[in-house]
Amino acid sequence: MKISVIGSGYVGLVTGACLSEFGYKVVCIDKNKKKIELLKKNIIPIYEPGLSDLVKKNTKAKYLSFSDNLKHIKGSKIIFIAVGTPSARRGDGEADLKYVFEVCKELAKVLNKKDKPIIVTKSTVPIGTGKKIINLFKKFCPSLQYEIDYNVASNPEFLREGSAIEDFLRPDRVICGVNNQVSLSCLKELYRPLNLREAPVLFTDIESAELIKYASNAFLALKISFINEMADLCEKVGGNVQMVAKGMGLDNRIGSKFLHPGPGFGGSCFPKDTRALYASFKKNNVESTLIKSVIEFNERRKLNMVKKIINILGKPYKNKKITILGVTFKPNTDDLRESPSLVIIPKLKKLGIKIYAHDPSYNTTFSSIKEFKGVMWKKNTFDAVKGSDMIVIHTEWNEYRGMDLSKIKKLLKSPVILDLRNIFNKNELNEMGYLYYNIGSKK
């Protein structure tokens, strides 16, 4: 089976590499010629554990190839659309579908009557997008109208950055929204290799599949916000939010995942998708106070972390030095999109505080980000903490869990740690002579 994946960003590249691992012939297509040239040289433009090896292996085996020309979709049984759907610039939270629709229009120009591929959206798109895509093909490529209907389907991705390969090859579930038997049979064949791993493949209508993606991300964002709110209460009245989360998580109706307090959720999915879902509610005149509250609480959360930091640091703020350990929104990725650090660091700098930072995924693009202007980047944690008045652990990289805390303490001007991810044991650090603060316990 030949498969084309249009869009070679995070989702498209992972999808293409993993499908080639199943033995399919996959071509990843992107109009960014520079990106394609890099991929042809096995230079991976994103940080994702295991992805580089997978790409190199399957490129060498001739299962995976790259192109900047749509003509290479010829002979594809399935064409995945995996382009970006950012929030629209007008600020209402709606997903901007211009890239999806541009791809559809370009496809309509190159497909002919002999081609009968399944057009599948991997991109996260609002409910009703599938119908719009069908209408686009009817308008721009009437020769593609089959006896039944256009073969358009929805197959949303559920990839977590940092574990995307595992998530694709060993998924909790696969969701396929289809509008006819042809699409159903084709996608069933595509995911047959997952049968050995007993991964459930759920077939629904297209609209349900589109909504499942948004509903899932919104619910996980809700869990994060809920435990963060419980952490705030624990800090006022006592109790330990980690014990609260553990006790809640033992109930199999709730589960322990995503019950980890922190500085707020970020990344390419949760903030964007909750806003887009709320926009869908508003657009269709359906009230949603719950989703709105999650969005607003998460924005306040980031600002409250700034207050927490400066309250511990104490006045005067000017020329004091804070070390931020980790700036990405989560570990095992170099993704900074909507990371709390993009809010926290500028607010601290505005107060005249000097910011030193370290992140294991650091690359030179970090220094060019306007929110990080003036940040002093260090190659290791020891250089980053030297002479610092305070350490703020922003991202829970494993590298920080194993730090030599005795050596770190000697390098600090003041032995103060604010752990926004609760990676250390409070009693142990207090015994070492640290002034240790975390999330969700009363000082």
Neighbours of 322 (CB within 10 A): 25
3-class SS shares of the chain: helix, strand, coil, % to 5:
45, 15, 40
pLDDT of the residue at 142: 66
pLDDT in tens, 6-28: 999 999 999 999 999 999 999 99
pLDDT of the residue at 148: 43
Where residue 109 falls among pLDDT bands split at 50, 70, 90? confident
Which residue spans within 53-160 are E strands per DSSP? 64-67, 78-81, 118-121, 152-154
pLDDT at 146 over 90: no
Neighbours of 244 (CB within 10 A): 18
pLDDT in tens, 219-263: 999 999 999 999 999 999 999 999 999 999 999 999 999 999 999
Secondary structure (3-state) at 281: helix
pLDDT of the residue at 195: 85
Where residue 139 falls among pLDDT bands split at 50, 70, 90? confident
pLDDT at 192 over 50: yes
Residue type, 138: K
By residue count, the chain amounts to 443
pLDDT in tens, 75-91: 999 999 999 998 877 67
pLDDT of the residue at 147: 40
Q: Which domains does the chain have, with CATH numbers?
A: 2-204 (3.40.50.720), 238-443 (3.40.50.720)
pLDDT in tens, 150-160: 689 999 999 99
> According to the per-residue pLDDT averaged within each range, which of 82-86, 140-144, 193-197, 413-417 is highest?
413-417
Average per-residue pLDDT for the chain: 94
Distances (CA, A) of 386 to 181, 324, 374, 405: 64, 12, 17, 13
**Is 186 one of the annotated active-site residues of the chain?**
no
pLDDT of the residue at 113: 65
Where residue 440 falls among pLDDT bands split at 50, 70, 90? very high
Cβ atoms of residues 56 and 42 within 8 Å:
yes
pLDDT of the residue at 115: 72
Determine the average pLDDT of the residues in 375-400: 97
Distances (CA, A) of 22 to 13, 73, 92: 15, 19, 40
Determine the average pLDDT of the residues in 193-218: 94
**Distance between alpha carbon 181 and the CA centroid of its chain, in Å?**
32
Where residue 49 falls among pLDDT bands split at 50, 70, 90? very high
List Cβ<8 Å contacts ≥24 apart for 60-66: 61/20, 63/20, 63/21, 63/23, 63/24, 63/25, 63/26, 64/16, 64/17, 64/20, 64/26, 64/27, 64/28, 65/26, 65/27, 65/28, 66/8, 66/27, 66/28, 66/29, 66/30, 66/36, 66/39, 66/40
pLDDT at 137 over 50: yes
Q: What letter does residue 389 receive in the DSSP assignment?
A: S
Where residue 144 falls among pLDDT bands split at 50, 70, 90? low
pLDDT in tens, 267-300: 989 999 999 999 999 999 999 999 999 999 999 9
pLDDT of the residue at 295: 97
Q: Which residue in 104, 141, 186, 269 is the catalytic one?
A: 269
pLDDT of the residue at 235: 96
Where residue 149 falls among pLDDT bands split at 50, 70, 90? low
